Amino acid sequence: MKKRKHDPAQLDLFAWAASRPTAKIISAIPGLAKRMWRERHMQQPNNPPHIVPMRRRA
């Protein structure tokens, strides 16, 4: 039982979050995390061209 150092904490966090009114938002986080992860990795090659127009606008 001592080998489980990470699982209990994570389960407790999810159980605590599920009992909160924000559980609906938390349930949507995995999809948002996937989208953010994709955008981050897809934007890496696109960052230099995107930075120029952003500076021109500002």
Q: Where are the domains of the chain?
A: 26-58
Residue 30 above 70 pLDDT? yes
Residue 35 above 80 pLDDT? yes
From CA 12, how far away is CA 5, in angstroms rounded? 12
Q: Residues 16-33: what's their mean pLDDT?
A: 71
Kindly give, in sequence order, each residue whose CB lies less than 8 Å from that of residue 20, ignoring residues fewer than 6 positions away. Answer: 26
- Which runs of E-coded beta strand occur in the chain? none
From CA 18, how far away is CA 56, in angstroms rounded? 44
Cα separation values, 36 from 28, 50, 57, Å:
12, 17, 24
3-state secondary structure of 1: coil
Tell me the pTM. 0.27
